[in-house]
């Protein structure tokens, strides 16, 4: 099984990235050949400072390693080190209907939030599809917010296969029925956990680097305390029952405590008698119980520049082998292969 995913180095790693992505990376790296990369080309749609991008790219490599992604097994690399990502994105762009991208929520949301509406931001799902299809991924561990992007990747694989593979039938992508041919590009499936949902930020909206509502995993203690203590609540008094839908504290606690503790929390909300600050303090404790070791490990890795660079270079070397094999088939099909 081929597993592919990525995180943008456009800010520091937060709880949404952990529960939506990294936690699953750690789990699935044992289940097949995983390729996890740092999506620096994607981050160019928001980051306009070269040095900052370099630093955040290095920072994300530290995050991956601190969380225990194992470079001996898993391929860890930087997107821009494998040029085939942008080449495949162009081929896909030529079969991508405008309407498909116009329906993408993420572009509209980002523009409403004030991001510059560049062609790059609009075409972002095409590059993401290329990232996945280039490695013929079977599984893509992502958070629920990426669902539509995954559907677009599947759609584009189908469009490409239909355009270039004689006998390809979109209802039989592997070509198992008599007379049908398999596609050149594999249709990927998302990988979600049972009952997974989007992780809310401190204001209750989706936790996102661009919304200033994140709880960063590797921030200084003072900042983490401030962020958790500032989580949105209502003005109900200590003795009043708490409506768990009002404050994101409870959705965040649910991610970090055991089911039996969560049942106790639910009960205490129902009967009242505990103020929001009690729950916030518990969240703070849970945060450190979960992340103390990785925070420590990341600190230790910080000085190991040579090692980290080496991991990324070797990862890129291995990723290129997969990429060039797919591209050979693609260039042959579209007519750009060297004769």
- Contact footprint for ligand TYM (CB under 6 A): 4-8, 16-17, 19-21, 39, 42, 128, 131-132, 140, 142-146, 149, 198-199, 206-208
Q: CB-wise, 118 or 310, nearer to ligand TYM? A: 118
Q: Kindly give, in sequence order, each residue whose CB lies less than 8 Å from that of residue 199, ignoring residues fewer than 6 positions away.
A: 15, 16, 19, 20, 143, 206, 207, 251, 252, 255
Provide the 3-class DSSP secondary structure of residue 12. coil
Structure tokens at 327: 């591209």
Q: CB-wise, 210 or 233, nearer to ligand TYM? A: 210
Q: How far is the CB of 97 from ligand TYM (least distance, A)?
A: 20
- Identify the CA nearest to 88 among candidates 319, 314, 317, 334: 334
Is 80 annotated as a binding-site member? no
Burial class (CB in 10 A: 0-12, 13-18, 19+), 197: middle
Helices 221-229 and 276-301 sit at what angle, rounded to 10 degrees? 150
Q: What is the side-by-side order of every strand in the sheet holding 189-191?
A: 75-78, 33-38, 2-7, 139-141, 189-191
Is 268 annotated as a binding-site member? no
Q: How far is the CB of 64 from ligand TYM (least distance, A)?
A: 12
Q: CB-wise, 141 or 168, nearer to ligand TYM? A: 141
Q: CB-wise, 110 or 298, nearer to ligand TYM? A: 110
Q: How far is the CB of 209 from ligand TYM (least distance, A)?
A: 7
Is 209 annotated as a binding-site member? yes
Structure tokens at 104: 């993408």
Is 72 annotated as a binding-site member? no
Is 143 annotated as a binding-site member? yes
Q: How far is the CB of 276 from ligand TYM (least distance, A)?
A: 21
- Identify the CA nearest to 165 among candidates 326, 324, 332, 325: 332
Is 237 annotated as a binding-site member? no
Cβ atoms of residues 146 and 135 within 8 Å: no
Q: State whether the Cα torsion 61-65-68-72 is positive or negative.
A: positive
What residues does 191 pair with on adjacent strands?
A: 141
Is 27 annotated as a binding-site member? no
Residues annotated as part of the active site: 110, 206, 209
Q: How far is the CB of 237 from ligand TYM (least distance, A)?
A: 30
Q: CB-wise, 145 or 169, nearer to ligand TYM? A: 145
Cβ atoms of residues 210 and 46 within 8 Å: yes
Q: CB-wise, 39 or 95, nearer to ligand TYM? A: 39
Residue 231, Cβ neighbours under 10 Å: how many? 22
CA distances from 129 to 2, 100, 310 (A): 15, 13, 27
Q: How far is the CB of 205 from ligand TYM (least distance, A)?
A: 9
Annotated binding site for ATP: 8-10, 16-17, 143-145, 199, 206-210
Annotated binding site for L-tryptophan: 131
Annotated binding site: 8-10, 16-17, 131, 143-145, 199, 206-210
């Amino acid at each position: 099984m081929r597993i592919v995913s990525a995180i943008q180095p456009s800010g520091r790693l937060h709880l949404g990235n952990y529960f939506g992505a990294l936690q699953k990376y750690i789990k699935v790296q044992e289940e097949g050949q995983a390729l996890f990369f740092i999506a620096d080309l994607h981050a160019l749609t928001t980051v306009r400072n070269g040095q900052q991008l370099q630093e955040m790219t290095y920072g994300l490599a530290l995050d991956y390693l601190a969380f225990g992604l194992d470079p001996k097994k898993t391929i860890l690399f930087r997107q821009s080190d494998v040029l085939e990502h942008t080449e495949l994105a162009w081929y896909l762009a030529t079969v991508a209907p405008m309407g498909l991208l116009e329906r993408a929520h993420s572009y509209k949301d980002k523009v409403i939030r004030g991001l510059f509406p560049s062609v790059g931001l609009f075409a972002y799902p095409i590059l993401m599809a290329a990232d996945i299809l280039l490695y013929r991924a079977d599984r893509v561990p992502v958070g629920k917010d990426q669902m539509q992007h995954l559907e677009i990747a599947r759609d584009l694989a189908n469009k490409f296969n239909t355009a270039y593979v004689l006998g390809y039938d979109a209802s039989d992508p592997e070509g198992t029925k008599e007379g049908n041919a398999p596609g050149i590009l594999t249709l990927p499936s998302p990988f979600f956990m049972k009952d997974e949902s989007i992780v809310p930020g401190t204001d209750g909206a989706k936790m996102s680097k661009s919304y200033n509502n994140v709880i960063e995993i590797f921030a200084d203690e003072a900042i983490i305390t401030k962020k958790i203590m500032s989580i949105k609540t209502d003005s109900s008094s200590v003795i009043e029952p708490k409506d768990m839908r009002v404050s994101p504290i409870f959705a965040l606690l649910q991610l970090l405590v055991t089911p039996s503790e969560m049942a106790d929390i639910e009960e205490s909300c129902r009967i009242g008698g505990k103020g929001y600050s009690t729950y916030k303090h518990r969240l703070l404790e849970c945060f450190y119980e979960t992340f103390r070791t990785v925070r420590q490990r990341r600190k230790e890795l910080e000085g190991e520049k040579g090692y980290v660079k080496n991991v990324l270079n070797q990862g890129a070397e291995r990723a290129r082998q997969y990429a060039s094999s797919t591209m050979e088939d693609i260039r042959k099909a579209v007519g750009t292969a060297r004769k």
